[in-house]
Amino acid sequence: MSHFAFPGVNLAITTPFDAQGHIDYARFEQLIEGYIAAGVHGFVLSSGTGMHVYLSKDESKELVAFGAKVIAGRATVIAQTSALLVEEVVERTVHAKHCGADGVMVLPPFFEGPTDDQGIIDFYSSVSEAGLPIIGYNVPQAVGIEVTPALLQELSKIPNFVSVKDSSGDLAAQASLARTGVPTMNGADPLVPYALFAGAAGLIWGGANMAPKTCVALANAAQAQRWDEVREIWKALAPVMSLIWQGDYVQSVYAGADMMGYGAGNPRRPLARLAADKHQALRDALAPLLEREVATV
């Protein structure tokens, strides 16, 4: 992972909201400082876990500008710049570059966009003109487009296209992407140690909002190829990472982070807070992590 620009834990950080549903920038700064202190290697701003789809364009751009300024080079910065219009993706990407972001994460065209390989290649070629490293996004269950190994090899020929985040949840499919030699990042929380063993170049990890120190310890152990240590750490993480992947992912991350002292308020509407009957199961799954995770934010 040492030759890749985004190794380790790239935290898909939650976006904190106040009681009125507005972005709470004071709290956002506190969270960033807490996660930096916990050792996270990078941040994904305006991530899916950070409710990108429920932020306006201006809110997302302001969030990226603010976050990058607070981080100030102490960790890498990836900004999600996904949008329906390619012109808007380029606009957001140019803005991220001006803010000092190290790269951008971009969904392929979605909601009745092109599904043929050439259409996907043309889309990312347009985004590449903004001049920032691009991380593509493979989440076929959500957008209806699969980044296959053959497509990934073609995308890697585009200037600035450096990686793909795989959130398919299919380890065999992700391993196939990694075998192309193009850096592949894992985005499926229950697969973390297996993906790292299979050659994932880095992690984009929403569940790490709840247990950043433990997640960083696992990534560092994997980078040093201390697989026995990885296995022991994963025993504590596996129950919660499997639980949140079963449904209500964003709501679960917000609730779990709050339980662990990294509260970001409630998710923004139309998402509701996690149902009360699911809280105890989440709390039980997090219990083995409490001793290691002592939030200071």
Is-catalytic flag, 137? yes
- Whole-prediction pTM: 0.95
Rg of the chain on CA atoms, in Å: 18
The pair phi, psi for residue 163, each rounded to 5°, is: -165, 175
Closest CA to 288 of 251, 245, 235: 235
Of 35, 61, 124, 137, which one is the catalytic site residue?
137
Q: Where are the domains of the chain?
A: 9-210
Helix (H) or strand (E) holding 286: helix 276-286
Report the SS3 class of residue 149. helix
- DSSP label of 153: H
CATH class, 9-210 region: alpha beta
Is-catalytic flag, 262? no
Pair of tokens at residue 58 = 């201006």
271 and 54 Cβ atoms separated by less than 8 Å = yes
Report the SS3 class of residue 102. coil
Of 165, 213, 254, 262, which one is the catalytic site residue?
165
Give the count of beta carbons closer than 10 Å to the beta carbon of residue 51: 22
The pairing of strands 184-186 and 9-12 is unpaired
184 and 200 Cβ atoms separated by less than 8 Å = yes
Write out the chain's pLDDT in tens, 297 residues: 448 999 999 999 999 999 999 999 999 999 999 999 999 999 999 999 999 999 999 999 999 999 999 999 999 999 999 999 999 999 999 999 999 999 999 999 887 777 789 999 999 999 999 999 999 999 988 888 899 999 999 999 999 999 999 999 999 999 999 999 999 999 999 999 999 999 999 999 999 999 999 999 999 999 999 999 999 999 999 999 999 999 999 999 999 999 999 999 999 999 989 999 999 999 999 999 998 886 555
Tell me how far apart the alpha carbons of residues 45 and 65 are, in angstroms, rounded to a whole number. Answer: 9
